[in-house]
Amino acid sequence: MLTIIDRQMLGAFFKAYVVCLVSMLSLYVVVDLFTNLDDFTGKNKSWQRVAIDIGAFYGYRLSQIFDRLCEAIVLLAAMFTIAWTQRNNELVPLLSCGVSVHRVVAPVLGGAFALLGLAVFNQEVIVPAISDKLMSEKDDPHAANMVQVRSGYEPNGMHFEGDKADRSARSVQNLRVTVPESLAGNLIHITAKTAIFHPDPEGGRGGKWELLQTTPREVEGWDRETQLLESVDTGRYLLHVREMGFEAITRNPNWFGFASTLRIYQEMQRPDASRAPGLAVLFHARLVRPLVGMVLVMLGLSVILRDQNRNIFISAGMCLVLCCLFFGAAYTAKMLGDNDMVPPALAAWLPLMVFGPYALVLFDAAHT
C-alpha cells in the first residue's frame, strides 16, 4: 500500500524522468543531426524530402537512442528527485519523525526498477522489430533501396554470394552458389541471374531459393538423394537451405546489436557461429543490464545522501566520476571477453561483482 509520501516521491521521480528523457533525447538528436546534415541533403533532394527523411530516420532511432541512454536517464532522474527534496527541506521532517532514509528513497528505487524494465522491453521487443530501419543509411531511412549481399556458408558447406538484394521482393541478383564435393560428388558452381527466397512456412530460419535463369542451365552431377536441389524447369531450380536465407545473406555485420537476447542465444548455438566470444559477452551483458542500472542508481543516491550540505553540482560531479569508472571497467572487461582473454560470463559480470558490493555499502551507510 502506497503512502502519501510514496506517491509524492514517485510523482516527483517520474516528472524528473520525463524532463531528463526529453532533454537528453532532444540534445542527442540535435547534435547528431548537425554533425551529419550533409548525409541527408545529398542527391539534389528537395527540402520537403530532406525533412521527411530526417523525420523518418530519427523517428525510428528514438528507440535506439533511448536504449543507449536509459540507465543515464534513470540515474539523473533519481538524483534530481532526491536533490530537489533536500533543497526544499522536505527530507528533514520525515527523518525527524523517525522515518529512515532508505524508506524515503524506496519509491524512487522501485520506480527506477520499473523504468529499467521498460528499457528491457524496448531492447527485446521494439528494437528487434524495427531493426531493418535502424540499420538503414541516412540517405535511405525507409530501408527501401537495394542492399549489399554478404557471402556466407551453410552448415553443410555450400557457399553463397551475390551482387544486390531487393528487400521488397526478397530477391538477389546474380546469386552464386558453390556446392562442395561432399554433397555433389564433384564441385558444382551455379549462378542464377535472379534468385527469390521463399521462407519456411513454419517460421524457421530456413527455406528455399528459387533460382531463375541459371548458368549452367542443366546442373548435373549432384546427389539427388540429398534433396537439396529440385529441378523445376530448364534453367530453374529450387535450392533448400537451413541457414542462408534472405535475412542471413543481407544481414548487417552489426546485426546482433539490434537482435533480441533470445536471437543472440540461438545464434550462439550454431556450431559455425562467427563472433562467438563477442556474442557470448553480449548475451551475458544483456542478463546483467537491469542490475547494472540499479547499481548506478544506488551509487548516485548514496553520493547525494551522504552530505546534505554539499553542493548539488559537486555531488553530480562525484557521481559522474563513479559512473565513468564503472563504464570504463565494463568496457575493459568487454574487450577482454571479446578477445577471448577471459570467459564471456566473467567479462559481463566482473564490473557488477566489483561495484555492486561497493554500492550496497555506500547506500547502507548513507545518511542525512
DSSP symbols for 213-241: EEESSS--S--GGG--EEEEETTEEEEEE
In this predicted structure, the answer to whether residue 339 has a pLDDT above a threshold of 60 is: yes
Span 277-293, average pLDDT: 86
Q: Are 254 and 229 in contact (CB under 8 A)?
A: no
Please tell me whether the peptide bond between 216 and the residue prior to it is cis, using omega within 30 degrees of 0. yes
Span 181-206, average pLDDT: 80
In this predicted structure, the answer to whether residue 360 has a pLDDT above a threshold of 60 is: yes
Percent over 70 (pLDDT), the chain: 86
Grid cell for residue 362: 555506500
In this predicted structure, the answer to whether residue 143 has a pLDDT above a threshold of 60 is: no
* C-alpha atoms less than 13 angstroms from C-alpha of 171 in its C-beta half-sphere: 12
Q: Are 138 and 39 in contact (CB under 8 A)?
A: yes
Q: Give me the pLDDT at residue 19, please.
A: 92
Q: Give me the pLDDT at residue 318, please.
A: 77
Q: Is the pTM of this model over 0.85?
A: no
Q: Give me the pLDDT at residue 244, please.
A: 83
Q: Are 107 and 13 in contact (CB under 8 A)?
A: yes
Q: Give me the pLDDT at residue 21, please.
A: 92
Q: Give me the pLDDT at residue 144, please.
A: 55
Span 23-29, average pLDDT: 90
Q: Are 130 and 63 in contact (CB under 8 A)?
A: yes
277 vs 133, residue with greater confidence: 133
pLDDT band at 222 (very low <50, low <70, confident <90, very high): low
Q: How far apart are CA 269 and CA 4, in angstroms?
A: 50
Q: Are 148 and 165 in contact (CB under 8 A)?
A: yes
Strand partners, 188: 179
Write the CB contacts of 54 (distance below 8 Å, at least 6 apart in sequence).
33, 40, 141
Grid cell for residue 84: 530537489
Q: How far apart are CA 157 and CA 159, in angstroms?
A: 6
276 vs 80, residue with greater confidence: 80
368 vs 338, residue with greater confidence: 338
Q: Give me the pLDDT at residue 276, please.
A: 59
Strand partners, 175: 192
In this predicted structure, the answer to whether residue 254 has a pLDDT above a threshold of 90 is: no
Q: Give me the pLDDT at residue 145, please.
A: 61
Span 159-166, average pLDDT: 86
Grid cell for residue 233: 524447369
Q: Give me the pLDDT at residue 102, please.
A: 79
In this predicted structure, the answer to whether residue 141 has a pLDDT above a threshold of 60 is: no
Window from 50-54, 163-167, 266-270 with minimum mean pLDDT = 266-270
pLDDT band at 179 (very low <50, low <70, confident <90, very high): confident
Q: Give me the pLDDT at residue 17, please.
A: 92
What value does the mean pLDDT of the chain take?
Answer: 81
pLDDT tens, position by position, 228-244: 778 788 778 888 888 88
Q: Is the dihedral of CA 275, 280, 283, 284 positive or negative?
A: negative
Q: How far is CA 359 from CA 220, 292, 319, 321, in A?
A: 68, 11, 12, 14
Specify the amino acid at residue 199: P
pLDDT tens, position by position, 315-336: 777 777 878 888 888 889 888 8
Percent over 90 (pLDDT), the chain: 8
Nearest to 64 by CA among 245, 336, 257: 257
